[in-house]
Amino acid sequence: MRSGLIVGHGSDVGRVRPLNEDYHRVWSFPVGRASIELFAVADGMGGAAAGELASKIAIEVLDEGFRRYAEEINAGRQVVPVGSLVDKAIRLANRRVYAQATQSEGRRGMGTTLTCLAMLGSRAFLGHVGDSRAFMVRGETIYQLTKDHSWVEEQLEKGLLTPEEAEHHEWRNLITRALGTRQHVVPDLAEFEVRPGDVYVLSTDGLHGLVEPEEILQELRRTRDRQHAVEYLLARANERGGHDNITLVIVEVP
């Protein structure tokens, strides 16, 4: 990475699914003497490889949007703030996936989660739809930065389920907000300060559904090799059944 960030990333089909419908990318877009670093995970859903297409479209729209944004900055043109770009890109990705889903009978109902983190200088910009997750390790603590858009999460918030009941509920994978399932979507957005030593983790539910945040924290403490940590955590999820595709991105700020 141009900024000196230490990054590990990977994806695995798991032990049950025939296809990997997750998609992820790690980008660096030079802007003047700096660069925008962008990280994203997407977990597609839908039969006949439609989920794979949905997650791919979402990642491609991010790529397209940030590439154009960097070109505009480098040409000396006025641009919107990075946080607005994240919002616009996610909404455009939703429209693109929705268009594909409504144009083809075999793709009807397809969709994808999308969780992305853009970093420029000491600021980070987070965009999120679905039940993939972003975590931050700061000091000795791991924090979940995103809220699952899921039926189970809603029941937890209302006090209608306990965490133990939620963990094993038959509807725990039922998501209530995704890209492509409706004409319009409202992403969750956040902006915050990046500090030296921070570690950011993006994962699809094939990982965090089987590996607890504290276990992620333990592995990040055990080794400074972020690619090794990714491979270890993917293996742990597979050891515990690998019932879904598993995707993970780890980003450390030196």
Render pLDDT for 187-242 as a digit per residue (tens, 0 to 9). Answer: 999 999 999 999 999 999 999 999 999 999 999 999 999 999 999 999 999 999 99
pLDDT on residue 2:
62
Round the average pLDDT of the chain to a whole number and report it: 94
Q: N- to C-terminal Cα distance for the chain? A: 12
The helix-helix angle for 213-222 and 226-239 (nearest 10°) equals: 140
State the Cα–Cα distance between residues 127 and 86, nearest whole angstrom: 6
- Residues 65, 252, 114, 125: what is their CA dihedral angle, to the nearest 10 degrees? -60
Domain boundaries 6-252, corresponding CATH code: 3.60.40.10
Tally of CB atoms within 10 A around 31: 17
Checking if the pLDDT of 168 tops 90, the result is: no
Checking if the pLDDT of 171 tops 80, the result is: no
Overall average pLDDT of the 74-100 stretch? 97
pLDDT in tens, 19-46: 999 999 999 999 999 999 999 999 999 7
pLDDT on residue 243:
95
pLDDT in tens, 110-132: 999 999 999 999 999 999 999 99
Task: Write the CB contacts of 190 (distance below 8 Å, at least 6 apart in sequence).
Answer: 125, 126, 145
pLDDT on residue 155:
81
* pLDDT band per the 50, 70, 90 thresholds, residue 73: very high
The helix-helix angle for 82-103 and 50-74 (nearest 10°) equals: 150
pLDDT on residue 41:
98
Strand partners, 200: 136, 251
pTM of the entire predicted model: 0.94
DSSP string, 45-73: E-TTTHHHHHHHHHHHHHHHHHHHHHHHH
The domain locations on the chain are 6-252
Checking if the pLDDT of 48 tops 60, the result is: no
